[in-house]
Structure 1
Amino acid sequence: MNRKKKINETLKKRIKKANAKLNKSTKPRYISKAERATLDDEAALVTETVDATSETITDSEIESTVN
């Protein structure tokens, strides 16, 4: 009886592992601290450039309305 039980347990474990591999994980991918810092720096640069371009656009619009 023990031999049959042991075989069934190992087969069930294999099936369980195979099913776990097929299912996608809902857990987000890990991002290291250094990678997060670089992403934050890039985001800051993008916002600075957007702010600078919006300022130049408003300045040019003001000049065109004045002229």
Structure 2
Amino acid sequence: MNRQKKLQQLFKAKAQKANAKLAPKKPKYICKADRLKAAAEAAEAAVSSPE
């Protein structure tokens, strides 16, 4: 494999990795404390809204 092809391959691989990081398929991680806080707020909103 010549040098030029090797370099092109490396650049393409790095670009693909960068694009994969920019557009992740997984949802963003939310820590346990924030999840509990959001659940409590949702429960509080559900309790107060029927009134």
TM-score under structure 1 normalisation? 0.54
Partner residue, 2:29: 30
Aligned amino acid, residue 10 of structure 2: K
Unpaired runs of at least 5, structure 2: none
Q: Aligned partners of 1:37 and 1:13: how far apart in 2?
A: 44
1:15 to 6, 12, 22: 12
RMSD of Structure 2 on Structure 1 (CA): 2.4
More helix per residue: 1
Unpaired runs of at least 5, structure 1: 54-67
Q: Aligned partners of 1:14 and 1:42: how far apart in 2?
A: 47
Q: Between the two proteins, what is the percent identity of the paired residues?
A: 27
Structure number with greater Rg is 1
Give how far 1:32 is off: 0.5
Matched, 1:50 2:44: no
How many residues matched? Answer: 48
Give how far 1:11 is off: 4.4
Aligned amino acid, residue 43 of structure 1: A
